[in-house]
Amino acid sequence: MTILDVRNLVVDIPSGDGTIHAVRDVSFQVREGEFFGVVGESGSGKSVMVQSIMGLVPRARISGSVKFRDRELLGISPAELRGVRGRHISMIFQDPLSSLHPQYTVGWQIVEQIRAHEPVSHAAAKARAIELLKKVQIPDAASRFDAYPHQFSGGMRQRVMIAMALSLGPGLIIADEPTTALDSTVQAQILDLLGEMRKEFGATVLMISHDLGVLSRVADRVMVMYGGQMMEVGASQEVLGAPAHPYTAGLLRSSSFNREPGTPLISIGGRPPSLLSPPAGCVFRERCPDAMDICGTAPPMRLYSNGIEAACWLEHEPSEPAAPTVPSDVRTVESGPESHIVQTENLKLAFSQRRGPERVVLDGITLDVRRGETLGLVGESGCGKTTLARAIAGLIEPTSGTVHFDGSPVSGLSRAGWREMRRRVQVVFQDPFGSLNPKRRVGSIIGDPFRIHGIASGAERRARVGELMELVGLSPEHYNRFPSQFSGGQRQRIGIARALALNPELVILDEPVSALDVSIQAQVLNLLDELQRTLGLTYLFISHDLAVVRHVCDRIAVMENGRIIELGDSDDIYQNPSQPFTKRLLAAASPGTAGGRPLRQHGSVFPVGPLVARPEEPVRDSGMKVTR
Ligand code: SF4
């Protein structure tokens, strides 16, 4: 039985530059009780699509039909829609920072959500809220009920959002990148939790994710979006194992989740189309390695023998592009005798708390980072990874212990020493929203390092900023845009461009690709790899994504409760982890199953087979034109 029936959905959003054609004639059905995944790059229209379904896109012009359990949602009054939101359809948003009110405790916010829809006492709502906080693994839930959002880590804030979305037992849960900010063990717990809710309450889950590994693990069916249109839909095992559409095949080749460690990721060349003036014909044509003359005409959705429906003229396996090669003019850095760029000695950091004993965040860290290597730092949220990185960069003063950078102590640097240190060490922060000034234009933000260090000005600075934007997959035409006009993934790319501006020696990458789409992840990881080889960069790579860490890191340090419990070569750690905690992390991160079934690797089961005629479906046009 169908719970959500979307037909011919079109979403146009007026903007200063013209009309953004965000969603273009998308039709799909979500079945009662299933886990339905939506995947695609930033700007493919997936978030706008679900937000417009819920009436959350201001000024959007929406047409088509969206039925929830046979009830048309487009065109109903805002009050009626509010009754549906939360009670029957709940949403888990991508960005918990902007979704939780900073001035209210997390417990109060959950209680308010419950009492806005149900006539229950405060005590009963509080008991349910604490129960939900326990379910989403908030430690010491009863006492954290009175905590404020800023007292939680990013991962814990997202868990609170999930508790809030689950609080009313909705029929449909729409989750927009709900696990992107979480480390692998918590990610697995949250996915399990969503699975439990589905079984316990018969809830249906529609989950948007750019993480193919996550979707392969949980989704029954997957829909792939690109340029505001649906490219492919079918059982996740088929779509992620033997895709019919070249775009899906490209996404799979870009992803580290199903590729051998050390093999280069193959990104999809080019950039997604402008939604201000989408191209005629197939929207993927500019980037498609299989494009043909007929692709100038928009392809219809066609049904393939493995049950996949895809919008493509191709009738055979999508072709495999060549692996990227390093340009011949690349200067290779000679590897000299092993030297350390960073050394920490018994580093300790503790915060005093208003109530209770002091909180130890770093508990005697002795670590070296070798020049030219990529050292991975992995562990759960709150284990101290980011704090350690900040102490290494000199952004936090440790309680005791020392940090040496290139042989010199970081504490007690002169003003000139700090300025030099700022050039040599760059940080790409985890939170692209919090690290960009919303009132400044992106070109000016990326050009800051040039301005501050007096390296380039005027037209030269603008040209160099344009090059950096190109490097990280941003259009230089967007030089004058503000951060709010970019998606989450694009904002992270802005941060990376800014960090690379001064050719630093050590780059601390704090979850640098966790917010990016896999195709962009591949571009950025390949770019980081190339820069490292040509410029001799050293990376300290913090990530909860163990597939990415294994792919890019030479050595890995595993952190737990402020300590390094295991350190070694990546292959050794992955093949012979000695600590139970490391084994748990690895077990939680194991991808490669779709709904408990083994996944086929892309390319192993082809051809897709002959096309079968798609049964004629009566296309219902509600004729409704709704303007919000
Ligand atoms: Fe490529 Fe043509 Fe298929 Fe579009 S229709 S994805 S251009 S082969």
Residue 95 pLDDT level (bands cut at 50, 70, 90): low
Specify the ligand 1 atom closest to the Cα of 231.
6
Give residue 368's pLDDT band: very low, low, confident or very high (50, 70, 90): very high
492 to 6, 268, 294: CA distances (angstroms)? 31, 18, 37
Whether residue 524 lies inside any domain: the answer is yes
Mean pLDDT over 586-604 rounds to: 45
**Three-state secondary-structure class, residue 412:** coil
Cα(332)–Cα(116) distance, integer angstroms: 63
Alpha-carbon distance of 388 to 380, in angstroms, equals 14
One-letter amino acid at 397 equals E
Comparing 323-337, 383-397, 414-428, 598-612, the range with the smallest average pLDDT is: 598-612
The amino acid sitting at 86 is G
What residue's CA is closest to ligand 1, atom 3? 312
| Helix axes of 122-135 and 154-166: crossing angle, nearest 10 degrees | 130
The predicted pLDDT at position 555 comes to: 93
Q: Which tokens go with 457?
A: 């000005």
Number of domains in the chain: 2
Inter-residue contact 432 to 446 (CB < 8 Å)? no
Say which CATH number the domain at 402 has: 3.40.50.300
Per-residue pLDDT tens over the stretch 201-250 = 678 999 998 888 788 888 999 999 999 999 999 999 899 888 999 999 98
pTM: 0.65
Q: Strand 425-428 relative to strand 506-510: parallel, antiparallel, unpaired?
A: parallel
372, two tokens: 């030219």
Measured from the Cα of 288, ligand 1's closest atom is 1
Whether the per-residue pLDDT at 323 is higher than 80: the answer is: no
Are 401 and 365 in contact by the 8 Å Cβ rule? The answer is yes
Q: What is the pLDDT of residue 263?
A: 63
Between CA 483 and CA 494 the distance in angstroms is: 9
Whether the Cβ atoms of residue 520 and residue 473 lie closer than 8 Å to each other: yes
pLDDT at residue 326 tops 80: no
- Residues 344, 399: Cα–Cα separation, whole Å: 13
* Cα distances (Å, whole numbers) of residue 178 to 18, 206, 485: 31, 11, 21
| pLDDT given for residue 209 in this prediction | 86
Judge contact between 20 and 13, C-beta under 8 A.
yes
**β-pairing verdict for 593-594 and 2-15:** unpaired
- pLDDT at residue 329 in the model: 35
Could you say which of 205, 228, 251 is where a domain stops? 228
- Cβ atoms 317, 608 nearer than 8 A: yes
**Token pair in block for residue 95:** 């960005």
User: Looking at 177, 203, 228, which one is the last position of a domain?
Assistant: 228
The whole domain housing 145 covers 2-228
Other Cβ atoms within 10 Å of 547 Cβ, number: 21
| Pocket residue to mutate for ligand 1, from 293, 295, 301, most atoms within 8 A of Cβ | 295
What confidence score (pLDDT) does residue 152 get? 83
In a domain, 314, yes or no: no
Beta carbons of 1 and 70 less than 8 angstroms apart: no
Give distance in angstroms: CA of 279 to centre of ligand 1: 13
- SS3 call for 11: strand
Question: Tens digits of per-residue pLDDT, 178-200?
Answer: 876 666 666 777 777 777 767 77
220 CA → ligand 1 middle, Å: 26
Tokens of 498: 């800014």
Output the 3-class SS for 196-233: HHHHHHCCEEEEECCCHHHHHHHCCEEEEEECCEEEEE
Q: How far is the CA of 192 from the centre of ligand 1 (A)?
A: 36
Q: How far is the CA of 312 from the centre of ligand 1 (A)?
A: 5
Q: Which helix (H) or strand (E) holds 550?
A: helix 546-552
pLDDT-derived band at 96 (thresholds 50, 70, 90) equals low
Alpha carbons within 13 angstroms on the beta-carbon side of residue 433 total 11
CA 521 to centroid of chain Cα atoms: 9
Phi, psi (degrees; rounded to nearest 5) at 260: -65, 140
In a domain, 493, yes or no: no
- Residue 603 in any domain: the answer is no
Contact 476, 442 (CB under 8 A): no
Residues 32 and 176 in one domain: yes
pLDDT in tens, 43-88: 788 888 988 888 888 888 999 999 999 999 998 988 888 888 878 9
The answer to whether residues 562 and 348 touch, using CB atoms and an 8 Å cutoff, is no
3-state secondary structure of 351: strand
DSSP assignment, residue 522?
A: H
Beta strands in 463-512 (DSSP E): 506-510
Q: Which whole number is the average pLDDT over 468-479?
A: 84
Which of 284, 293, 611 to probe ligand 1 with, by most ligand atoms within 8 A of CB? 284
The pLDDT assigned to 217 comes to 82
The number of the ligand 1 atom at minimal distance from the alpha carbon of 310 is 3
The backbone torsions φ and ψ at residue 38, rounded to the nearest 5 degrees and listed phi first, read: -125, 125
Question: Which one, of 523, 614, 92, lies nearest residue 272 by Cα?
Answer: 523
Task: Check pLDDT > 80 for residue 147.
Answer: yes
**Measured in angstroms, how far is the CA atom of residue 83 from the centroid of ligand 1?**
42
Residue 517, pLDDT score: 67
Q: Is residue 247 part of a domain?
A: no
Kindly calculate the radius of gyration of the chain based on its CA atoms and give it in whole angstroms: 25
Q: How far is CA 616 from CA 6, 300, 303, in A?
A: 17, 13, 11
Q: Where are the beta strands (DSSP E) in 121-211?
A: 172-176, 204-208
Cα(615) to centroid of ligand 1, in Å? 22
Residue 403 domain flag? yes
Backbone φ, ψ for residue 49 (5° rounding):
-60, -50
Rounded to an integer, what distance in angstroms lies between the CA atom of residue 341 and that of residue 422? 15
Integer Cα distance of 351 and 331 in angstroms: 45
Q: What is the mean predicted confidence (pLDDT) over 404-412?
A: 86
Q: What is the mean pLDDT of residues 427-454?
A: 83
Q: What is the mean pLDDT of the chain?
A: 81
298 domain residue, yes or no: no
Tell me how crowded residue 255 is: count the other CB atoms within 10 A of its CB.
27
pLDDT-derived band at 35, boundaries 50, 70, 90: very high
Q: Return the bridge partners of 223, or none.
A: 38, 233
Would you say 262 and 551 are in contact if contact means Cβ atoms under 8 Å apart? yes
Task: Return the structure tokens found at 617.
Answer: 């479906």
**Given ligand 1 and candidates 290, 302, 308, 608, which is best to mutate, with the most ligand atoms within 8 Å of its CB?**
290
Is residue 258 included in any domain, yes or no?
no
pLDDT tens track for 517-551? 666 677 777 777 877 876 778 999 998 777 788 88
Percent of the chain surpassing pLDDT 90: 30
Q: Which pLDDT score is estimated for 201?
A: 67
Could you tell me if 417 and 540 lie in one domain? Answer: yes
CA-to-CA dists, residue 289 to 42, 202, 246, 249, 284, angstroms: 21, 42, 8, 11, 10
Question: Do residues 347 and 544 make contact, with C-beta atoms less than 8 angstroms apart?
Answer: no
> Which atom of ligand 1 is closest in space to residue 247's alpha carbon?
6
423 lies in the same domain as 571: yes
Three-state DSSP state, 500: helix
| pLDDT at residue 425 tops 80 | yes
Structure confidence at residue 608 (pLDDT): 39
Ligand 1 pocket at CB < 6 A: 246, 282, 284-285, 288, 290-292, 295, 299, 312-314
Whether the per-residue pLDDT at 375 is higher than 50: the answer is: yes
Is the distance from CB of 402 to CB of 348 less than 8 angstroms? no
